[in-house]
Amino acid sequence: MIKIDKREGRKVYKCDSGGKILKVYDSLQDVAKDLDVSMQTAYYRVKSSRSGRTASGLLLLYEDDWEAKFPVLAEKRYGDEVDNELELLNKPITAVKENKKAVDKAKAKEDKKLEPMEKQPASEQADKQTSKLQQLIDEQARADERERMELEAVSVDPVNHPSHYCTGDIECWDAMMSAFGPEWMMAYANVAAFKYAWRAKHKGRFAEDMKKAAWYNMKAAELAERMEAKA
């Protein structure tokens, strides 16, 4: 059993013969996984790369071995990393400056809007404020009207609750319930459900008649449950 180099946990660079880094591995284990070989085979490949050119023309070097073999590239790489870190450090400062510029610009624009108002006579300012208030009132009124119409559209059922079925605020069904009682109305609902289901095939209004049949079936079921609960 061959003992693996104690540096196996260090980074390994895959590079060409000129030192250009093609891939960075975090450990020797990642090298073995990428090459689909055992740890020992990966170790030997890294070890053989230190002595010179490999059969494939590519080198596998530990990070410090790469720096020793290609010092000029290593120095440039280090300089680039420092520049990147400085750029990251400067970003928050730049962001603060840009934000301050944006705030100052917005404040200047707001001050510019207020200047004409201060120079206007009090009567003109009052008229403008009244006009704005009236505009808000009109917009709210239109919004309320739209909401009222939407609610009416949702609550109105032209199939089972057409306008001619209702007098004032009393539904025809409620008036019949008061006059005849639940037993008679359950029988009526069953008959009406049968009627609409029967004529659905013959009147050319299948969907409408089936909705009516379903509604009367529902009413009959509700009345049956109510009477069973009282029994």
Span 159-170, pLDDT tens digits: 566 665 555 567
CATH code (residue 53): 1.10.10
Of 186 and 107, the structure prediction assigns the larger pLDDT to 186
Give the tokens for residue 52: 């010179």
Question: Is the confidence at residue 215, as pLDDT, over 90?
Answer: yes
Average pLDDT for 116-126: 63
How many CB atoms within 10 Å of residue 195?
14
Q: Is 227 within 8 Å of 182 (Cβ atoms)?
A: yes
pLDDT above 90 as % of the chain: 18
Query: Considering the chain, what is the average pLDDT of its residues?
Result: 78
Q: Report the domain count for the chain.
A: 2
pLDDT above 70 as % of the chain: 70
Whole-prediction pTM: 0.32
How many CB atoms within 10 Å of residue 193?
20
Q: Is residue 24 part of a domain?
A: yes
pLDDT number for residue 142: 86
pLDDT number for residue 177: 87
Final residue belonging to a domain, choices 25, 52, 69: 69
Nearest to 189 by CA among 167, 211, 173: 173
Final residue belonging to a domain, choices 69, 100, 122: 69
Question: Is the confidence at residue 191, as pLDDT, over 90?
Answer: yes
Question: Is the confidence at residue 116, as pLDDT, over 60?
Answer: no
Q: Is residue 213 part of a domain?
A: yes
pLDDT number for residue 169: 62
pLDDT number for residue 79: 73
- Could you tell me the residue range of the domain that residue 187 belongs to? 170-230
